[in-house]
Amino acid sequence: MPPRLGIKIDVDTLEGFRQGIPALLEILAARRIKASFFVSLGPDNSGRAIFRVFRQQGFLEKMWRTRAPALYGLRTMFYGTLLPAPLISRGAGEMLRAVAAAGHELGLHGYDHVRWHDHLLSMSREEVSRELARAQEIYTPFLGHAARAFAAPGWQCSAASRAALAAGGFLYGSDTRGYAPYFPRFGEQVHSVLEIPTTLPTLDELLGFDGCQPEDFTALILGRLQKAAVPQVLTVHTEVEGGPLRQEFANLLDRCLDQGVEFFRLEDWVRELLQEPGKIPAASVRQGRLPGRAGRVSCQGPVEAEP
Protein backbone atom coordinates (compact mmCIF):
# COMPACT_ATOMS: atom_id res chain seq x y z
CA MET A 1 0.00 0.00 0.00
CA PRO A 2 1.18 3.56 -0.66
CA PRO A 3 2.13 5.76 2.30
CA ARG A 4 -0.83 7.64 3.80
CA LEU A 5 -0.62 11.07 5.42
CA GLY A 6 -3.17 13.16 7.29
CA ILE A 7 -2.52 16.90 7.34
CA LYS A 8 -3.71 18.43 10.62
CA ILE A 9 -3.78 22.23 10.49
CA ASP A 10 -3.83 24.16 13.77
CA VAL A 11 -5.06 27.76 13.82
CA ASP A 12 -3.69 29.42 16.96
CA THR A 13 -3.84 33.16 16.30
CA LEU A 14 -5.80 35.96 14.63
CA GLU A 15 -3.07 36.40 12.02
CA GLY A 16 -3.10 32.68 11.31
CA PHE A 17 -6.86 32.78 10.91
CA ARG A 18 -7.02 35.79 8.61
CA GLN A 19 -3.89 35.26 6.52
CA GLY A 20 -2.76 31.65 7.02
CA ILE A 21 -6.04 29.89 6.28
CA PRO A 22 -6.53 31.49 2.82
CA ALA A 23 -2.91 30.76 1.91
CA LEU A 24 -3.23 27.09 2.88
CA LEU A 25 -6.59 26.73 1.15
CA GLU A 26 -4.95 27.90 -2.06
CA ILE A 27 -1.98 25.55 -1.68
CA LEU A 28 -4.23 22.56 -0.93
CA ALA A 29 -6.72 23.33 -3.71
CA ALA A 30 -3.95 23.50 -6.31
CA ARG A 31 -2.99 19.92 -5.35
CA ARG A 32 -6.51 18.58 -4.70
CA ILE A 33 -5.57 17.66 -1.14
CA LYS A 34 -8.13 17.59 1.67
CA ALA A 35 -6.98 18.34 5.22
CA SER A 36 -8.30 18.75 8.77
CA PHE A 37 -8.42 22.29 10.17
CA PHE A 38 -8.70 22.94 13.91
CA VAL A 39 -9.50 26.50 14.93
CA SER A 40 -9.09 28.50 18.14
CA LEU A 41 -12.02 30.91 18.39
CA GLY A 42 -11.52 32.92 21.59
CA PRO A 43 -9.08 35.71 22.48
CA ASP A 44 -5.64 35.77 20.89
CA ASN A 45 -3.49 35.98 24.01
CA SER A 46 -0.29 35.02 22.19
CA GLY A 47 1.77 37.66 24.00
CA ARG A 48 1.23 35.89 27.31
CA ALA A 49 3.29 32.97 26.01
CA ILE A 50 6.38 35.00 26.92
CA PHE A 51 5.87 33.92 30.54
CA ARG A 52 6.86 30.39 29.47
CA VAL A 53 10.43 31.68 29.69
CA PHE A 54 10.13 31.17 33.44
CA ARG A 55 8.31 27.83 33.29
CA GLN A 56 9.48 25.87 30.25
CA GLN A 57 12.97 24.62 29.61
CA GLY A 58 14.13 25.54 26.11
CA PHE A 59 11.42 28.13 25.35
CA LEU A 60 13.73 31.10 24.84
CA GLU A 61 16.16 29.05 22.78
CA LYS A 62 13.32 27.88 20.50
CA MET A 63 12.06 31.44 20.02
CA TRP A 64 15.55 32.57 19.01
CA ARG A 65 16.27 29.55 16.79
CA THR A 66 13.01 29.83 14.83
CA ARG A 67 13.11 33.66 14.63
CA ALA A 68 9.66 33.80 16.22
CA PRO A 69 9.02 37.54 15.60
CA ALA A 70 9.46 36.97 11.87
CA LEU A 71 7.25 33.86 11.91
CA TYR A 72 4.41 35.19 14.04
CA GLY A 73 4.68 38.98 13.66
CA LEU A 74 5.28 41.57 16.36
CA ARG A 75 1.60 42.43 16.84
CA THR A 76 0.76 38.80 17.55
CA MET A 77 3.60 38.57 20.07
CA PHE A 78 2.15 41.58 21.98
CA TYR A 79 -1.51 40.46 22.04
CA GLY A 80 -2.75 39.98 25.58
CA THR A 81 0.09 42.03 27.12
CA LEU A 82 1.07 45.34 25.50
CA LEU A 83 -1.90 45.09 23.10
CA PRO A 84 -5.48 44.00 23.88
CA ALA A 85 -6.30 40.39 23.00
CA PRO A 86 -8.55 40.44 19.90
CA LEU A 87 -11.26 37.83 19.44
CA ILE A 88 -10.27 35.43 16.66
CA SER A 89 -13.92 34.61 16.04
CA ARG A 90 -14.99 38.16 15.21
CA GLY A 91 -16.23 38.00 11.63
CA ALA A 92 -15.04 34.40 11.31
CA GLY A 93 -18.16 32.89 9.77
CA GLU A 94 -17.25 33.46 6.14
CA MET A 95 -13.80 31.94 6.55
CA LEU A 96 -15.06 28.89 8.44
CA ARG A 97 -17.73 28.24 5.85
CA ALA A 98 -15.10 28.56 3.09
CA VAL A 99 -13.01 25.85 4.73
CA ALA A 100 -16.00 23.52 4.95
CA ALA A 101 -17.17 24.34 1.42
CA ALA A 102 -13.75 23.34 0.06
CA GLY A 103 -14.28 19.84 1.48
CA HIS A 104 -11.90 20.08 4.41
CA GLU A 105 -12.69 18.84 7.89
CA LEU A 106 -13.25 21.55 10.49
CA GLY A 107 -12.85 21.03 14.24
CA LEU A 108 -12.01 22.96 17.38
CA HIS A 109 -8.59 23.94 18.70
CA GLY A 110 -10.06 25.39 21.86
CA TYR A 111 -11.29 28.76 23.02
CA ASP A 112 -8.32 30.50 24.70
CA HIS A 113 -5.31 28.73 23.16
CA VAL A 114 -2.74 30.08 25.62
CA ARG A 115 -4.86 29.29 28.69
CA TRP A 116 -5.34 25.65 27.64
CA HIS A 117 -1.71 25.25 26.60
CA ASP A 118 -0.32 26.63 29.85
CA HIS A 119 -2.88 25.66 32.48
CA LEU A 120 -4.83 22.58 31.37
CA LEU A 121 -3.13 20.21 33.80
CA SER A 122 -4.37 22.29 36.75
CA MET A 123 -7.90 22.81 35.35
CA SER A 124 -10.93 20.92 36.69
CA ARG A 125 -13.34 19.08 34.44
CA GLU A 126 -15.84 21.92 34.96
CA GLU A 127 -13.28 24.50 33.83
CA VAL A 128 -12.38 22.42 30.78
CA SER A 129 -16.05 21.94 29.93
CA ARG A 130 -16.58 25.71 30.04
CA GLU A 131 -13.68 26.24 27.61
CA LEU A 132 -15.18 23.70 25.20
CA ALA A 133 -18.68 25.11 25.58
CA ARG A 134 -17.54 28.66 24.82
CA ALA A 135 -15.83 27.46 21.64
CA GLN A 136 -18.89 25.45 20.58
CA GLU A 137 -21.18 28.43 21.21
CA ILE A 138 -19.19 30.36 18.62
CA TYR A 139 -18.67 27.50 16.16
CA THR A 140 -22.24 26.14 16.01
CA PRO A 141 -24.08 29.23 14.65
CA PHE A 142 -21.46 29.66 11.92
CA LEU A 143 -21.62 26.03 10.69
CA GLY A 144 -25.12 24.99 11.72
CA HIS A 145 -23.89 22.08 13.84
CA ALA A 146 -21.52 21.45 16.72
CA ALA A 147 -17.91 20.43 16.11
CA ARG A 148 -17.23 16.69 16.49
CA ALA A 149 -13.41 16.82 16.48
CA PHE A 150 -10.98 18.49 18.86
CA ALA A 151 -7.21 19.09 18.80
CA ALA A 152 -5.66 20.23 22.08
CA PRO A 153 -3.54 23.38 22.11
CA GLY A 154 0.10 22.53 22.73
CA TRP A 155 -0.72 18.79 22.83
CA GLN A 156 -1.93 19.13 26.42
CA CYS A 157 -4.29 16.36 27.47
CA SER A 158 -5.68 15.28 30.85
CA ALA A 159 -8.23 12.94 32.35
CA ALA A 160 -10.48 15.98 32.84
CA SER A 161 -10.19 17.07 29.21
CA ARG A 162 -10.92 13.60 27.85
CA ALA A 163 -13.94 13.26 30.12
CA ALA A 164 -15.18 16.64 28.89
CA LEU A 165 -14.77 15.55 25.26
CA ALA A 166 -16.84 12.43 25.93
CA ALA A 167 -19.56 14.44 27.69
CA GLY A 168 -19.54 16.92 24.80
CA GLY A 169 -20.25 14.23 22.21
CA PHE A 170 -16.95 14.50 20.34
CA LEU A 171 -16.14 11.73 17.87
CA TYR A 172 -12.39 11.88 18.46
CA GLY A 173 -9.53 13.99 19.76
CA SER A 174 -6.06 14.67 18.42
CA ASP A 175 -4.46 15.78 21.66
CA THR A 176 -1.18 13.91 21.98
CA ARG A 177 2.05 12.91 20.28
CA GLY A 178 2.38 9.21 19.56
CA TYR A 179 2.60 6.49 16.97
CA ALA A 180 -0.90 5.01 16.29
CA PRO A 181 -4.59 5.48 17.19
CA TYR A 182 -5.63 4.44 20.72
CA PHE A 183 -8.06 4.89 23.57
CA PRO A 184 -6.32 6.99 26.27
CA ARG A 185 -5.80 5.53 29.72
CA PHE A 186 -5.45 7.71 32.81
CA GLY A 187 -4.82 5.57 35.86
CA GLU A 188 -7.30 2.72 35.79
CA GLN A 189 -9.78 4.46 33.51
CA VAL A 190 -9.77 4.05 29.75
CA HIS A 191 -11.57 6.97 28.09
CA SER A 192 -14.06 6.30 25.31
CA VAL A 193 -13.13 9.04 22.84
CA LEU A 194 -10.66 7.78 20.24
CA GLU A 195 -7.28 9.53 20.09
CA ILE A 196 -5.49 10.19 16.78
CA PRO A 197 -2.02 11.37 17.80
CA THR A 198 0.36 13.50 15.78
CA THR A 199 3.00 10.97 14.74
CA LEU A 200 5.54 13.19 12.96
CA PRO A 201 7.71 16.07 14.21
CA THR A 202 6.68 19.59 13.22
CA LEU A 203 8.62 22.11 11.17
CA ASP A 204 8.52 24.77 13.89
CA GLU A 205 10.11 22.30 16.34
CA LEU A 206 13.00 21.24 14.13
CA LEU A 207 13.70 24.46 12.22
CA GLY A 208 17.28 25.39 13.09
CA PHE A 209 17.59 22.45 15.52
CA ASP A 210 20.97 20.83 14.85
CA GLY A 211 21.08 22.99 11.72
CA CYS A 212 17.82 21.61 10.29
CA GLN A 213 16.53 23.58 7.29
CA PRO A 214 13.16 23.15 5.52
CA GLU A 215 14.67 20.86 2.88
CA ASP A 216 16.11 18.66 5.63
CA PHE A 217 12.71 18.53 7.28
CA THR A 218 11.09 17.47 4.00
CA ALA A 219 13.63 14.67 3.59
CA LEU A 220 12.98 13.51 7.16
CA ILE A 221 9.20 13.40 6.64
CA LEU A 222 9.52 11.51 3.36
CA GLY A 223 11.85 9.00 4.95
CA ARG A 224 9.45 8.42 7.84
CA LEU A 225 6.51 7.98 5.46
CA GLN A 226 8.30 5.36 3.39
CA LYS A 227 9.13 3.32 6.49
CA ALA A 228 5.80 3.68 8.30
CA ALA A 229 3.58 0.65 8.74
CA VAL A 230 0.52 2.77 9.63
CA PRO A 231 -0.87 6.08 8.31
CA GLN A 232 0.94 9.15 9.65
CA VAL A 233 -0.29 12.52 10.93
CA LEU A 234 1.60 15.77 10.37
CA THR A 235 0.60 18.92 12.25
CA VAL A 236 1.19 22.26 10.52
CA HIS A 237 0.37 25.77 11.70
CA THR A 238 -1.32 28.53 9.74
CA GLU A 239 1.16 30.99 11.25
CA VAL A 240 4.15 29.02 9.90
CA GLU A 241 3.28 26.87 6.87
CA GLY A 242 0.53 29.34 5.97
CA GLY A 243 2.88 32.25 6.59
CA PRO A 244 6.59 32.79 5.87
CA LEU A 245 7.20 29.08 5.15
CA ARG A 246 4.24 28.50 2.83
CA GLN A 247 6.45 27.77 -0.19
CA GLU A 248 8.43 25.23 1.80
CA PHE A 249 5.16 23.53 2.75
CA ALA A 250 4.02 23.50 -0.88
CA ASN A 251 7.33 21.88 -1.81
CA LEU A 252 6.80 19.20 0.84
CA LEU A 253 3.36 18.37 -0.55
CA ASP A 254 4.72 18.20 -4.09
CA ARG A 255 7.47 15.81 -3.01
CA CYS A 256 4.89 13.66 -1.24
CA LEU A 257 2.69 13.53 -4.33
CA ASP A 258 5.69 12.63 -6.49
CA GLN A 259 6.30 9.64 -4.22
CA GLY A 260 2.70 8.45 -4.34
CA VAL A 261 1.63 9.54 -0.86
CA GLU A 262 -2.13 9.44 -0.34
CA PHE A 263 -3.68 12.18 1.80
CA PHE A 264 -6.70 11.83 4.08
CA ARG A 265 -8.84 13.82 6.48
CA LEU A 266 -8.54 12.64 10.06
CA GLU A 267 -12.31 12.24 10.37
CA ASP A 268 -12.41 9.79 7.46
CA TRP A 269 -9.71 7.62 9.02
CA VAL A 270 -11.52 7.73 12.37
CA ARG A 271 -14.72 6.44 10.80
CA GLU A 272 -12.76 3.59 9.20
CA LEU A 273 -11.21 2.68 12.54
CA LEU A 274 -14.46 2.84 14.51
CA GLN A 275 -16.04 0.22 12.30
CA GLU A 276 -14.00 -2.25 14.39
CA PRO A 277 -13.38 -0.53 17.74
CA GLY A 278 -12.40 -3.81 19.38
CA LYS A 279 -9.18 -3.78 17.36
CA ILE A 280 -8.09 -0.40 18.74
CA PRO A 281 -5.77 -0.72 21.76
CA ALA A 282 -5.59 1.38 24.89
CA ALA A 283 -2.46 3.21 25.95
CA SER A 284 -1.48 5.39 28.85
CA VAL A 285 -0.87 9.14 28.50
CA ARG A 286 2.22 10.71 30.05
CA GLN A 287 4.00 14.05 29.90
CA GLY A 288 7.27 13.98 27.95
CA ARG A 289 9.77 16.10 26.07
CA LEU A 290 10.36 16.12 22.31
CA PRO A 291 13.44 17.16 20.32
CA GLY A 292 13.33 20.88 19.55
CA ARG A 293 10.18 21.55 21.57
CA ALA A 294 10.09 23.63 24.74
CA GLY A 295 8.35 22.23 27.80
CA ARG A 296 6.46 18.95 28.00
CA VAL A 297 3.59 17.57 25.95
CA SER A 298 1.13 14.72 26.41
CA CYS A 299 2.56 11.57 24.82
CA GLN A 300 1.23 8.11 24.04
CA GLY A 301 2.75 5.45 26.24
CA PRO A 302 3.23 1.76 25.35
CA VAL A 303 0.15 -0.13 24.22
CA GLU A 304 -1.24 -1.87 27.30
CA ALA A 305 -4.43 -3.69 26.39
CA GLU A 306 -7.56 -3.52 24.34
CA PRO A 307 -10.29 -1.58 26.15
Supply the pLDDT for residue 57.
56
The pLDDT of residue 89 is above 70: yes
Q: Break the chain into its structural domains and give their ranges.
A: 4-305
Q: Which fold is adopted by the domain 4-305?
A: TIM Barrel (3.20.20)
Indicate if the pLDDT at residue 55 is higher than 70.
no
First-residue to last-residue Cα distance in the chain: 28
Mean pLDDT of 273-295: 94
State the CB neighbour count (10 A cutoff) for residue 110.
29
Dump pLDDT digits (tens) for 249-275: 999 999 999 999 999 999 999 999 999
Residue type for position 53 = V
CB 139 within 8 A of CB 108: yes
Q: What is the mean pLDDT of residues 65-94?
A: 77
* pLDDT band for position 54 (cuts 50, 70, 90): very low
Alpha helices in the chain (DSSP H): 14-15, 21-31, 59-65, 68-72, 74-78, 93-101, 113-119, 125-143, 159-167, 203-206, 214-227, 246-258, 266-273
On whether the CB atoms of residues 208 and 304 are closer than 8 A, the answer is no
AA identity, residue 260: G
Find out whether 201 and 290 touch, Cβ atoms under 8 Å: yes
- The pLDDT tens digits of the residues spanning 150-172 come to 999 999 999 999 999 999 999 99
99-114 mean pLDDT? 97
* Confidence band of 307 (pLDDT split at 50, 70, 90): very low
pTM of the predicted protein model? 0.92
